Amino acid sequence: MPRSIVPKKSGLHRSACLSLYRALLRECKRLPTAGACGHTNSLPGIIESLVRYRFEADRTIQSPTQICHGMEAGRGFLDLLQSCNHKSGEAFIRLGQVLESVSLQAENTALLRRRLASCWKPPPPHRAKYLENIKKVKLKDNHLSNPDQPRIFEHPRPLSEVKAGVRKVPNLIVTQDVPILKYPGPQPVLLNRVIKQKALWGVKTFQQHKELENAAHLADCEDDWDAILYRDHRIIPPGDKLLKGTVGVDRALAGSQGGTWAGTFRQADQELELKAHERGRKHAELGRKLWQIVLDERELKEKERREAKHQRRMARKSAVAGLPP
């Protein structure tokens, strides 16, 4: 979605919401501690907490209709608070009704949540991996990375930073000529995106190569036609940037100078080939770095296994001797 259409990324929308938010908080602080609405327990604090909660809960709304209704409700409540600050009895009565309805709604919500909690059942085991993947997809860390220094090069990490508490050794695999490290568990979203982009780049490069290969005979025909024009009529195509003034009777001489249509096609094909070789070289270098990560992870895994085994042995000896662990 374009940035100008997203409400929460619009400067005008943010200014309007912040102005309304500050005006509501300012009017809340002007309210008397005990009003005619019957709420004697810090009335300004209660209303201020409700305002903060409502704005925090609605900050992700993107529907224009919901935003308009929310702004209208906020302006209406601002008028109500201003009337209360002017000692209006009707405004205090209406404010008390609003607080009672909010309290009743909160009680109903709590009752519904308790009812749902009593009916909750743990998910079946076969959905555990799916739910774990959903949690990882929601993490912003899985969507952020620096192309110059990918997060994968931060591995191996210390055992204290491993979330599961047990180190997992990855496997080095190659998919679509791209080396990647596959850790046990669901594959990160960012990694899937990178593999797809690299695969599309390879497909696009191959298609360009095939197009140049299929059109090579047309380049030969153009060279023949240019040679005929120059031999019979001494005509040089005006403004021809491809030939660079090398058109002549001898096609071999012109081709050696790189000024023919066929030479231009070959040059473009060679540039694609060089790009493919450069991409392959980078992938090979990346594969060597990733393989070093695998070796380091294996070494740390074995070291931690031995330390854990030693600790268990010492704990058993302490238990047999009756000593505290």
Task: Give pLDDT, residue 257.
Answer: 41
Task: Give pLDDT, residue 63.
Answer: 86
Band of the pLDDT at 245, cuts 50, 70, 90?
very low
Task: Give pLDDT, residue 189.
Answer: 76
Task: Give pLDDT, residue 23.
Answer: 92
d(C-alpha 244, C-alpha 190), whole Å: 47
pLDDT in tens, 10-20: 888 888 899 99
Please say if the pLDDT value at position 270 is more than 80: yes
Between 133 and 126, residue with greater pLDDT = 126
Ranked by mean pLDDT, the top range of 7-11, 181-185, 209-213 is 209-213
Q: What is the mean pLDDT of residues 240-248?
A: 42
Please say if the pLDDT value at position 150 is more than 90: no
| Closest residue by Cα to residue 76 from 101, 98, 52, 103 | 98
In the chain, the percentage of residues whose pLDDT exceeds 90 is 18
Task: Give pLDDT, residue 244.
Answer: 42
Q: What is the 3-state secondary structure (H, E, C) of 146-163?
A: CCCCCHHHHCCCCHHHCC
Q: Return the minimum-mean-pLDDT range out of 10-19, 49-58, 201-210, 231-240.
A: 231-240
Residue that the structure tokens 């005929």 belong to:
228
| Closest residue by Cα to residue 190 from 149, 153, 154, 136 | 136
Q: What is the mean pLDDT of residues 303-314?
A: 88
Residue 201: both structure tokens together: 């780049």
Between 185 and 253, residue with greater pLDDT = 185
Task: Give pLDDT, residue 237.
Answer: 59
| Closest residue by Cα to residue 142 from 178, 192, 197, 198 | 192
d(C-alpha 141, C-alpha 188), whole Å: 10
Between 103 and 9, residue with greater pLDDT = 103
Task: Give pLDDT, residue 37.
Answer: 47
Average pLDDT, the chain: 81
Q: Where are the alpha helices (DSSP H) in 5-163?
A: 11-30, 43-57, 64-85, 89-119, 128-138
Please give the DSSP secondary-structure letter assigned to residue 174. Answer: E
pLDDT in tens, 8-45: 778 888 888 999 999 999 999 888 865 444 444 578 88
Q: Return the minimum-mean-pLDDT range out of 50-64, 98-112, 152-166.
A: 152-166
Radius of gyration of the chain (CA): 36
Domain residue ranges of the chain, discontinuous segments joined by +:
7-119, 143-320
